[in-house]
Amino acid sequence: MADKLFGTDGVRGQANSWPMTAELALKLATAAGRHFRHDKQEHRVVIGKDTRLSGYMIENALTAGFTSTGMNVFLLGPIPTPAVGYLTHSLRADIGVMISASHNHAIDNGIKFFGPDGFKLSDEAEQSIARMMEGEVPLAPPEQIGRARRFEDARGRYVEYAKTTFPHRRRLDGLRVVVDCANGAAYRTAPAVLWELGAEVIPVGVEPNGFNINGDCGSTHPATAAAKVIETQSDIGICLDGDADRIVLIDEQGKMADGDQIMALIAKRWQAEGRLAGDTLVATVMSNLGLERHLEAQGIALKRTAVGDRYVVEAMRAGGHTLGGEQSGHIVMTDYATTGDGLIAALQFLSAMVETGQPASALARVFEPVPQRLVNLRYVAGTTPLEADEVQSAIQMAEGELGGDGRLLIRKSGTEPLIRVMAEAIDEARLTRVIDDVCAAIKRAI
């Protein structure tokens, strides 16, 4: 179990199927509670969740597991993932937990852990917890069983903190903002923050029912917000995902800006302000080659990591860097947050609009991206289609054809049974040919 339980972002799967069952959540919390117990007077854990129906089941199972080891549980209710990281540290908790499958469909769910410093757990800590689950975990004596209670002030605390990341004495007065909360964890916090800072807010995706999270809305379906921006003649659209740790922006013309463009803008501004530590941006191997070339021209280094915001954060902490993220929209700013925070990233972009007086369209196209194409191919879990001789041969031929003018990246998703095939090339005809040939070989192997 130890080598299979945790993926690139905690434990994730279809609800009521292994590993996302109440039974496993109970065992996981019991092991995690024992792992984080220290010799002090009170042991605390905070638990947040998004709006999936299965969140109730998993929340109750985790609560039982943690209290059985003597942990006192603070239940935060629906709240963004970055808020859990913030409150874990703020409340001096031993551990924080977010119940969410992020951008996945409503039938999925996941469990993410944060350490007492508010950062996600290392691979080593996760494996230690997984190994502990394989044996008998000592429980607390009856008189030391933990308590559980709702922490009613969680959302308010995060709202007030998020507002402090916006420049002092600046306001959003006069800006009309569409915010698509994906019927997810930020459906109350994001509109509240933007409105309290002065914006006219047009909310989308703020009616969760347990089943509609990420459904034709949010960062995975930005066309919904784009249409609303055009319809309402808004200045900008903000698209969050189910747990609000990633963002996609829509300018006033209805055009989308991904995480690469947002990071490029923030990096340029922070460099000018002396806030970009080491003049370095940390991003993953998925970020566009155009971003790398643009940063190089600006005297900014790009440090690449494996895919996953946790690996971005690890590289940032190791190198003392302050800005990093993913093309998909995870933007990590360690001056403000311990993990990706879509809302706080949006506030950084909005501050640029307010301070420069420029429209979103003038700020959201910082560099010209190299043509890039990403194809997701679903496969049967447990099979190894990438190891097929035909696939390996197709990959070698594609790499040879791209040469030094492009990139080919093929990997399995760490959160769902998908093979992601990404290629970049200046010549779009060559790009299409390479992608089609490789994908055809993989499909035959599947």
Active site residue 351: no
User: Where on the phi/psi map is residue 381: left (φ > 0), alpha (ψ -120 to 50), or beta?
Assistant: beta
Sort 346 into a burial class: Cβ within 10 Å, 0-12 / 13-18 / 19+: buried
DSSP H helical segments within 274-418, as ranges?
289-297, 309-319, 342-356, 360-363, 389-402
417 contact partners, CB below 8 Å, separation of at least 6: 378, 379, 380, 381
Distance CA 305, CA 285 (A): 6
End-to-end CA distance of the chain: 25
Residue 12 burial (CB < 10 Å; 0-12/13-18/19+)?
buried
Task: Please give the Cα distance from 327 to 93 (Å, whole number).
Answer: 31
Catalytic site residue from 68, 102, 219, 287: 102
Question: Helix, strand, or coil here: 160?
Answer: helix
The CA distance from 437 to 346, in Å, is 38
* CA count, 13 A, side-chain hemisphere, 221: 19
Phi, psi values for residue 137, rounded to 5°: -95, 125
Amino acid at 310: R
Give the residue among 291, 349, 105, 292 at the shortest CA–CA distance from 211.
Answer: 105
What does the block give as tokens for 105?
């469909």
Active site residues: 102
